C-alpha cells in the first residue's frame, strides 16, 4: 500500500506580519518582562517599549518568523498582565502613517488659524 505524504498548508490573512503592536501594557513594564512574555512564542528580533507620555503602555515586538508572531498574537491578545488585558495587533504601516499625517494636518490648520493665514 502506497502512502501519500500530506503537507500542511498555512494560509495567512494579508494583515499578518512579523511586527506586533501591543497596547494597554502596565506603565512600569520592563523590556526583560516583555521578552519573558513574548519570547515564549518564538525568537524575537527586537522589542521597543514606549517611554514617552504619548507612547507609555505600548510596545512593538518584532519576531523572526511570521508564524511565531501569529501564534503570539492569537495567544496574548486579552492576556492579563498586572490586572491589565493586553491588546495585541499586527502592525499596519499605512494606518500608522495615516494617523501621523492627520495629526500634522490638524497642527497646520491650528497654526494657520492662530496667525490668520488663509490659503483658499
Per-residue pLDDT tens over the stretch 46-57: 999 999 998 999
Q: Among residues 13, 16, 33, which one has the least CA distance to residue 25?
A: 33
- 15-44 average pLDDT score: 94
CATH number (domain holding residue 76): 3.30.70.330
Q: What is the DSSP code (8-state) at residue 52?
A: S
Domains held by the chain: number: 1
**In Å, how far are 16, 57, 76, 95, 118 from 98, measured between CA atoms?**
19, 21, 26, 5, 25
Q: Among residues 102, 98, 103, 95, which one has the least CA distance to residue 21?
A: 95
Residue 100 — pLDDT band, cuts 50, 70, 90? low
Residue 51 maps to a domain: yes
Residue 97 maps to a domain: no
- pLDDT at 8 (0 to 100): 44
Residue 99 — pLDDT band, cuts 50, 70, 90? low
Residue 113 maps to a domain: no
Residues in the chain: 120
Residue 28 maps to a domain: yes
The share of the chain scoring above pLDDT 70, in percent, equals: 80
Q: What nine digits make up the cell of 70?
A: 501569529
Residue 98 maps to a domain: no
- Residue 8's SS3 state is coil
Please report the beta strands in the chain, taking only residues with DSSP state E, as ranges in sequence order: 19-23, 44-49, 58-63, 80-81, 84-85, 87-90
- pLDDT at 95 (0 to 100): 65
Least trusted range by pLDDT, from 63-72, 75-84, 105-114: 105-114
Q: Note down the domain range covering 58.
A: 19-92
Residue 105 maps to a domain: no
3 has a pLDDT exceeding 50: no
Residue 115 maps to a domain: no
Q: What nine digits make up the cell of 5?
A: 505524504
- Residue 96's SS3 state is helix
Mean pLDDT of the chain: 84
Q: What is the DSSP code (8-state) at residue 120?
A: -
- pLDDT at 29 (0 to 100): 93
Residue 33 maps to a domain: yes
Amino acid at each position: 500500500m502506497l502512502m501519500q505524504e500530506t503537507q500542511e498548508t498555512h494560509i495567512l490573512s494579508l494583515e499578518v506580519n512579523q511586527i506586533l503592536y501591543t497596547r494597554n501594557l502596565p506603565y512600569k513594564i520592563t523590556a526583560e518582562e516583555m521578552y519573558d512574555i513574548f519570547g515564549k512564542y518564538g525568537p524575537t528580533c527586537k522589542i521597543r517599549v514606549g517611554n514617552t507620555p504619548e507612547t507609555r503602555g505600548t510596545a512593538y515586538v518584532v519576531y523572526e518568523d511570521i508564524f511565531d508572531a501569529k501564534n503570539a498574537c492569537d495567544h496574548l491578545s486579552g492576556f492579563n498582565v498586572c490586572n491589565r488585558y493586553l491588546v495585541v495587533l499586527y502592525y499596519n504601516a499605512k494606518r500608522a502613517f495615516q494617523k501621523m499625517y492627520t495629526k500634522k494636518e490638524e497642527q497646520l490648520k491650528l497654526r494657520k488659524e492662530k496667525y490668520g493665514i488663509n490659503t483658499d
